Amino acid sequence: MMGVRKKTSSHTGINPDRGISESGGSARQKQGLSDAAGNVSPQQRIWSIVAMIPAGKVASYGQIAALAGIPRHARLVGRTLRELPAGSKLPWHRVVNAALRIASRAPGQMKQQRKLLEAEGIEFIGDRVVRAHRWQARAD
DNA sequence: ATTCAGGCTTTTG
DNA sequence: GCAAAAGCCTGAA
């Protein structure tokens, strides 16, 4: 593949530093979130990225991880999303795997996720999301 | 410290 | 396009 995808270092224009104002308000009780050195925990980065996925678009775990500055952490993204509080504002449903398929962690939610996506105007081909709906940050 | 399993990804055939 | 194998990381036993 590659071709369009440059190195992850390419500033796509998105700016994770915009800070995601509370994503539910609770998930930060025992999480360090910010480090003494001013660093933020990986999951906060993930939240930021996920939060900036435009409606009507979907992104893959690895993509998010890469954009968050933590390549190879696709699974961590999934893990993080799994721990999300119910009232989270994060559009976790816009996150799918590299095959553009809905990752199944719970049969019921999978159905729900698809419904949410379709509600945003995302089309499906079988159990897969139409490629045109794949989100890609670009700098230009 | 070691082992295992997981909302993954990528390369081959 | 799908299946199998190998990678890469993390959290929990």
Output the pLDDT for position A33.
64
Distance CA A59, CA A14 (A): 14
pTM above 0.85, yes or no: no
Q: At what angle do helices A42-51 and A74-82 cross, to 10 degrees?
A: 80
Distance CA A76, CA A4 (A): 25
Dump pLDDT digits (tens) for A14-31: 444 444 444 444 434 445
Q: Which residues put CB within 7 Å of chain C, the nucleic strand?
A: A 72-76, 79
Measured to protein CB atoms, the chain C nucleotides within 7 Å are 7-11
Dump pLDDT digits (tens) for A49-95: 899 999 999 999 999 999 998 989 999 999 999 888 777 888 999 99
Closest Cα partner for A47 from A28, A5, A1? A28
Q: Where are the beta strands (DSSP E) in A1-140?
A: 59-60, 95-96, 124-125, 128-129
A76 CA – C12 C1', rounded, Å: 14
A75 CA – B7 C1', rounded, Å: 8
Measured to protein CB atoms, the chain B nucleotides within 7 Å are 6-11
